[in-house]
Structure 1
Amino acid sequence: MANQIDVITNIMNVIVPPFMLIVLLLVYPLYLIYKFINFITRLLTSENVAGKVVLVTGAAAGIGEQISYEYARRRARLVLVDVRGDLLGRVVENVRSFGSSDVIAITADVSKEEDCKRFVDEAIKHFHRLDHLVNNAGLARVKLFEEIQNFSDFSYLLDVNLWGVAFGTYYAIPHLRKTKGKIIVMASSVGWYPFPRFSFYNASKAALITFYETLRTEIGNSNIGITIVTPGLVKSALSQNEPAKAALGWIPMESAEKCGKAIVRSACRGDKYVVEPSWVNSLYALKVMCPDLVEFCNRFLFITAEKTAPPTTDAPHKSFIPTELKSD
């Protein structure tokens, strides 16, 4: 029996790759035409979110704050969630001035399942519906894997970045089904690009990408739209402090405001993926086509070069650099 299975496997190893290549050559031109028509359709039928209810986690600062402002400009009603409740008051005032007719703020830690259930329940109790769920809350830590001394810090990172997103999504799905709503999830370009010193952060974002691609298959995009966001480096409290600047090097940064606007625009269009800024897409092609070159360059630029540079007092690889509880 085992020999028969091995024979079948060997035959498939020979037949399947050229067969799939032929299918791809025949189908891909038609697929590109479909994608183009679909893109034009989305441009012409962008969703009007005025009066609709949008829940944003990690809304107190950075990308989450800017996403909230962009929804407010489009007259959406907002539920703002963050672990730092003391910072939400300012954001609430701003979204009201930008045009949101009704907004509530909820202090919650997304790593706790009961908190996620509570903020979804409070949103439904106040607004009686939910149209968009923006899973933006997240946490980053910067450290070489071999230098980690306390794994509990990284366990909390995974709790926030993965379970914190899954919990909120789980409790929101029944309500989003009723409105044929949307889920917007903040992954990262490092979910597929192996940037050094962020191993657990990268892994958590890679898990989000796969999780939501699977969920999209399970639910069906016609029932609940899912937009996966994979931004590059965005200006925030994380990226602007001195240790982070040293760790992140010379990588160009985009403003959180521009990134937030692009995310909401794509979500309203119903895009399945958002890469912002768009030049980051070229890194994906490079990683797929030349993985060895990417590995060499990353190591040379961000590991070898730093070890040969004069020591600094910041020593970014010796310290944790947390974000606020929001993505990037």
Structure 2
Amino acid sequence: MPTAQLMLLMLAWIVGLEQEDKIVISETRTNQSMDLVGSILNFVVPPASMVMLAFAWPTLSFIHALEWFFKTLNRDNMENKVVLITGASSAIGEQLAYEYARRKANLVLVARREHRLWGISDNARLLGAKHVLVMAADVVKEEECRRFIYDTINYFGHLHHLVNTASLGHNFYLEEATDPSVFPHMMDINFWGNVYPTYVALPFLRQTRGRILVNASMESWLPMPKMSLFAAAKAAVINFYETLRLEVRDEVGITIATHGWVGDDINRRNFMLEEGTEIHWKEERDQVATSGGHVEELAKLMVAGACRGDAYVKRPSWHDVFLLYRAFAPDVLNWTFRLLLSDHGAKPTAPRSQPIEAAGSPPRRAIAFSPASPPPPQQIAK
């Protein structure tokens, strides 16, 4: 190779090394600048935001009051509208059915426990419901959700409100669980039991510019001991619907109800055996009770909020203050809970929660809501 070509190659190699060094130096300086900016923002933004929020709070409260008044004057008239309620055999689902019945809506009641739905349907008709359909289905199965949504559309022709209330609670420390096979069932019922009906019903709700009413919980952002799986599932539910709210914009309304413990079946900490026999647990609920209120009052607030078009229904509303502590002073909130729950929330030295089999049933492995046999065809309460 001629000397001139060799010199050119060496020169090009040296220039390339210099360019690489410059790029590395530039990236390093950029990263350092970004780190510096991030550190400054971490120090400045939180206190500045608190000051801005303090000044903006009165104005925002006034705007929200005007919005509430305007929405109240223009709330939905549910007479002859079609409302589908999942988990309708539970206490909150039952009371929601009665509230919609008082507004003369047409109801579709969906639950696994069909025998309970018939009594609820009779009461709903007495309260003013025009037509009531009863359907046995499992909301954790997409094909069954598709069936009861399509049956509703085939019968009524449209759907205005989808009310998701199916929930499964628990009251045990994670380490107390002797059979972790129940864990997926908790997520199935509390999360996928909301996603599947919503996914199938969404196109029909768009047609009527309808609304989804969701039964969530304050435990999604204010975790309590012995509720780890339930709190995680409800947090997933709220984030799912908040994201969906951005996707559907104003075409479908979404109302999320967050509340404390109420007089609901979920409080009794019920589980199911493989063959469907109900069991209970020895230990009564021993943690500090939260102020959720009576289920009838909560149902009234939820339906009123949904008809008004509220984004959230909160009971009690003063729980909102804990969001600020969770975001800006989490240690204060944690210390407070440790003091309040010092006697109740301490981890036991030995498992205390043992399942009690239903009377007269042979020993069987306890799981949560095992899959049921295929539901019967659609039935109509006349």
- Per the normalisation by structure 1, the TM-score is 0.87
Between 239-248 and 266-275, the greater mean CA deviation after superposition: 239-248
The residue aligned with 2:259 is 231
1:319 CA displacement: 5.2
Q: State, as a whole percentage, how many aligned pairs show the same letter.
A: 35
The residue aligned with 1:292 is 331
1:139 CA displacement: 0.9
The residue aligned with 2:9 is none
Q: Please tell me whether the aligned partners of residues 149 and 197 of structure 2 are also in contact (alpha carbons under 8 angstroms).
A: yes
User: Does residue 51 of structure 2 align to residue 58 of structure 1?
Assistant: no
* Distance change (3 Å), C-alpha of 1:184 and 1:17: farther
Which SS does the other structure have where 1:292 is aligned?
A: helix
**Alignment partners' CA distance in 2, 1:230 and 1:324:** 24
1:49 CA displacement: 0.7
* Distance change (3 Å), C-alpha of 1:30 and 1:254: closer
**Alignment partners' CA distance in 2, 1:55 and 1:285:** 35
2:138 to 97, 109, 114: 109
Q: Please tell me whether the aligned partners of residues 232 and 275 of structure 1 are also in contact (alpha carbons under 8 angstroms).
A: no
1:322 CA displacement: 9.7
1:259 CA displacement: 0.8
User: Does residue 149 of structure 2 align to residue 120 of structure 1?
Assistant: yes
1:255 CA displacement: 1.3
1:98 CA displacement: 0.5
**Alignment partners' CA distance in 2, 1:46 and 1:244:** 44
CA RMSD of aligned residues (A): 3.1
Q: Please tell me whether the aligned partners of residues 173 and 347 of structure 2 are also in contact (alpha carbons under 8 angstroms).
A: no
The residue aligned with 2:360 is none
User: Does residue 36 of structure 2 align to residue 10 of structure 1?
Assistant: yes
Structure with more relative contact order (C-alpha pairs < 8 Å, separation 6 or more): 1
**Alignment partners' CA distance in 2, 1:95 and 1:244:** 35
Between 267-276 and 252-261, the greater mean CA deviation after superposition: 252-261
Q: Please tell me whether the aligned partners of residues 72 and 98 of structure 1 are also in contact (alpha carbons under 8 angstroms).
A: yes
1:292 CA displacement: 2.0
The residue aligned with 2:234 is 205
User: Does residue 299 of structure 2 align to residue 260 of structure 1?
Assistant: yes
1:68 CA displacement: 0.5
**One-letter code aligned to 1:11:** V
* Distance change (3 Å), C-alpha of 1:76 and 1:244: farther
* Distance change (3 Å), C-alpha of 1:224 and 1:6: farther
1:90 CA displacement: 0.4
- Listed as ranges, the gaps of 5+ residues in structure 2 are 1-25, 270-280, 357-365, 371-382
Q: Please tell me whether the aligned partners of residues 225 and 345 of structure 2 are also in contact (alpha carbons under 8 angstroms).
A: no
**Alignment partners' CA distance in 1, 2:99 and 2:45:** 47
Q: Please tell me whether the aligned partners of residues 72 and 78 of structure 1 are also in contact (alpha carbons under 8 angstroms).
A: yes
The residue aligned with 1:44 is 73
**One-letter code aligned to 1:92:** S
Q: Please tell me whether the aligned partners of residues 286 and 344 of structure 2 are also in contact (alpha carbons under 8 angstroms).
A: no
The residue aligned with 1:246 is 285
**Alignment partners' CA distance in 2, 1:300 and 1:282:** 19
Counterparts of residues 94-243 of structure 1 (less than 5 Å): 94-220=123-249, 222-239=250-267
Q: Alpha-carbon deviations, 1:182-209, whole Å to 9, x = none?
A: 0011110000001010101000001111
**One-letter code aligned to 2:36:** N
Between 196-205 and 229-238, the greater mean CA deviation after superposition: 229-238
Q: Alpha-carbon deviations, 1:237-296, whole Å to 9, x = none?
A: 343588574334444452111111110001101000111133433444444454223323
Q: Please tell me whether the aligned partners of residues 129 and 179 of structure 1 are also in contact (alpha carbons under 8 angstroms).
A: yes
- Structure showing greater radius of gyration is 2
* Distance change (3 Å), C-alpha of 1:250 and 1:140: closer
Between 183-192 and 18-27, the greater mean CA deviation after superposition: 18-27
1:218 CA displacement: 1.1
**Alignment partners' CA distance in 2, 1:277 and 1:33:** 20
**Alignment partners' CA distance in 2, 1:271 and 1:167:** 23
1:276 to 315, 327, 330: 315
Q: Which has the higher helix share?
A: 1
**Alignment partners' CA distance in 2, 1:162 and 1:292:** 29
1:63 CA displacement: 0.5
**Alignment partners' CA distance in 2, 1:140 and 1:15:** 40
**Alignment partners' CA distance in 2, 1:275 and 1:263:** 9
Q: Please tell me whether the aligned partners of residues 169 and 267 of structure 2 are also in contact (alpha carbons under 8 angstroms).
A: no
